[in-house]
Amino acid sequence: MRHWPITDLELATPDLVLRLPSDAELDELAQVAAEGVVPDGAVFFPQPWASAPPAERARNVVQNHWWARGDWSRDNWRLLLAVFHDGQVIGQQNLSARDFATTGEARTGFWLGRRFQGHGCGTQMRAAALALAFDGLDAARVTSTAFEDNAASRAVSRKFGYRPNGIHRIAVDAHPYDAHEAVVDAASWRDQAQLVPVAIRGLTGGITYFR
Ligand SMILES: CC(C)(COP(=O)(O)OP(=O)(O)OC[C@H]1O[C@@H](n2cnc3c(N)ncnc32)[C@H](O)[C@@H]1OP(=O)(O)O)[C@@H](O)C(=O)NCCC(=O)NCCS
């Protein structure tokens, strides 16, 4: 789109492509969410959208994408990318920031449909987000927060050289959870960047949307 050039942005890893979804693809992504993201009873997000009933979960995905685009500003942006494997939508990778031009700090979030988990896709998704942040946008540091018992998410952070950055006690549906924040700076990431090669395409037209 001429007037929303972030639509040209595409990140490619050995097995995945990440980009903004069309509405038809967003519908597919919502369906993946409806079919399950977290094990029954698990709470892995501060907003417990993934534990909502399937139809509500799916609608939440759709609205969240529209909201992120409608609410976008250079001071406060949320990039929600659909993740494709062999042309099939399998999950979502987020990169977001407040006052990025000043702080150089961004944060990530990600999820996969349950049947796509545990095959290395999360690692490639995080690699893509980190390459965009550090190589594409010249970030200074990137954070990721995962609940205590989210072993897969925390393992992905460890692989990319993150270090612990504090534990926050937060309430979700009136239950306490320990959210572990981790942070990686550009130098530590560069030491691990060869783990997953990432190609960034189509960023130039939209770069002023980020910083
Ligand atoms: C988190 C998520 C995106 C990770 O993606 P994934 O494709 O499953 O992860 P990968 O297969 O790339 O790698 C996960 C790593 O965690 C490790 N891991 C997974 N489960 C683990 C467990 N129970 N204990 C220890 N390590 C574990 C894997 O061994 C792997 O590390 P390795 O490659 O060194 O062996 C995915 O599991 C998911 O969508 N989970 C539900 C939603 C969610 O929790 N989102 C994140 C919220 S912070």
**Residue range 171-186: average pLDDT?**
97
Q: Name the percent of the chain lying above pLDDT 70.
A: 100
Atom of ligand 1 nearest to the CA of 147: 48
Q: Residue 111 Cα, ligand 1 centroid: separation in angstroms?
A: 10
Q: How far apart are CA 191 and CA 160, in angstroms?
A: 8
Q: What share of the chain is helix, strand, coil (3-state, %, to 5)?
A: 40, 30, 30
The pTM (predicted TM-score) of the whole model is: 0.97
Q: Hey, whose CA ends up nearest to atom 23 of ligand 1?
A: 151
Q: How far apart are CA 169 and CA 180, in angstroms?
A: 9
Rg for the chain (alpha carbons), in Å? 16
Structure-block tokens of residue 51: 């534990």
**How many domains would you assign to the chain?**
1
CATH number of the domain residue 37 falls in: 3.40.630.30
For residue 148, give its domain range: 5-209
**Per-residue pLDDT tens digits for 160-176:** 999 999 999 999 999 99
For β-strands 17-19 and 199-201, DSSP reports them as unpaired
